[in-house]
Structure 1
Amino acid sequence: MSNNAIPRDFVKNVLQNGVGRYVCQLKRITFRFCKSHGGSRHMRDFIENNLLEFTQKNPGVVCYLQPRRHRPPSVVAEFLNGRREVMLLSGKEVPEICKWVEHMRTRSGVQIVNMIQNNHTETPSTQGIWHPFMFRDSEMAATEFPSKKFSQIQVTGKTATDLVLEEQLKVSSSESSDSHIEGK
């Protein structure tokens, strides 16, 4: 598939879905299957075991069953914006059919396009891509924690717990000496 086959569009600001609440964009879903053909076996299993649960969880989505003789199973999703998508499900097992139905339910119905920006550069970053482990020691990746080497502060050789305990002792001793001086 060439890059020209995918529709292109500019990045736009999209308004939030609904005013104050989420509005499901899927208005109708049609399950097409054959009652006797073996290729529709998983679709029939999905309809028998999972469709009732789907309809109970999504009362705003209308579900239709359309038996068709000697045709591969498919799902037709119709959205509030008027778009209609057909997905062939031959060879898909029940968990995969569940995932595709959920995918259709959560879609906005907007056509999938290759997003392009108004600005373009051949070198997006002169510094490279940063990630949280960029300047970390690679030895840490193979170390089991807690580790004596990585838990000690390199300058003093003491652990962070030792330093916190020392600070606490200093604070408590200064508080006791201050209260002792005020008592005289």
Structure 2
Amino acid sequence: MSNSHLFLKPGFIKVPLQNGVGRYVGQLQRVVLKFCKSSGSSRGMREFIEADLVDFAKNNPGIVVYLKPRRHRTAIIKAEYLNGDIQWLNCRNFTKDEITKWIDLLKTQQKNSTGMRIRKLWHTDNPSIQGPWTPFTFKDPKLNLAKFPDEELSTPDHLNRTSQDELVELFKQQKLEELEKCENVERINATN
């Protein structure tokens, strides 16, 4: 482990859990577009504001857009996220298309606390190489390609059995194995 983590502020990840269960909540809260009205390096930002800003605001009602004209300064996009993180993007000499792509990227990404040493409430010396468990980890892969309703999958053989049925079946198998062991012991004793 390097000592680079000593210079980073410690903190915990503050993201909404289960984002997308029920509905997706966009993480971008506010966009501030800073630009100069006369500078040549802000031309792409001014073109974006004139041509595409109204459409962007209509298509994304959950994102607040502020315009901040500044004299003799380079164009900047400031993105603020729901977890309190702020990201700055210098847009010097960017074209209108580049600014559109960057704003779309800022809108779709979920900003984690980069520049922060992430602390966990647990530690292990042997981390898992299998990855996190999901509800689909041990499911049959043919369910991915099935068109529902499917006659083959709706037969009783493929329905989930209860735990009680599983235990009864295990008990029967154990009894059969015990009987076979007893019969084998009797045969060995009879031959001696």
TM-score normalised by L of structure 1: 0.54
Q: Which residue does the alignment assign to 2:41?
A: 39
Cα 1:32/1:15, change in 2 over 3 Å: same
How much has 1:19 moved relative to structure 2? 4.2
Say if 2:105 is the partner of 1:103.
yes
Structure 2: how far apart are the matches of 1:34 and 1:82?
Answer: 27
Cα 1:118/1:33, change in 2 over 3 Å: farther
- What one-letter code is carried by the residue in structure 2 that aligns with 1:59? P
Structure 2: how far apart are the matches of 1:25 and 1:78?
Answer: 9
Structure 1: how far apart are the matches of 2:125 and 2:53?
Answer: 46
Gaps of 5+ in 1: 125-184
Aligned ranges for residues 49-68 of structure 1 at < 5 Å?
49-68=51-70
Gaps of 5+ in 2: 130-192
Structure 1: how far apart are the matches of 2:96 and 2:40?
Answer: 14
Q: Is residue 40–residue 93 contact of structure 2 (8 Å, CA) maintained in 1?
A: no
Structure 1: how far apart are the matches of 2:108 and 2:36?
Answer: 26
Aligned ranges for residues 66-77 of structure 1 at < 5 Å?
66-77=68-79
Question: What SS does the aligned partner of 1:20 have?
Answer: coil
CA RMSD of aligned residues (A): 3.3
Structure 2: how far apart are the matches of 1:118 and 1:42?
Answer: 50
How much has 1:16 moved relative to structure 2? 2.0
How big is each residue's C-alpha offset from its partner over 1:95-122, in whole Å with a ceiling of 9 and x where there is no partner?
A: 111111011111222123699x96679x
Question: What SS does the aligned partner of 1:99 have?
Answer: helix
Q: Which residue does the alignment assign to 1:83?
A: 85
How much has 1:94 moved relative to structure 2? 1.2
Aligned ranges for residues 1-184 of structure 1 at < 5 Å?
4=4, 15-112=17-114
Instruction: Count the aligned residue pairs.
Output: 120
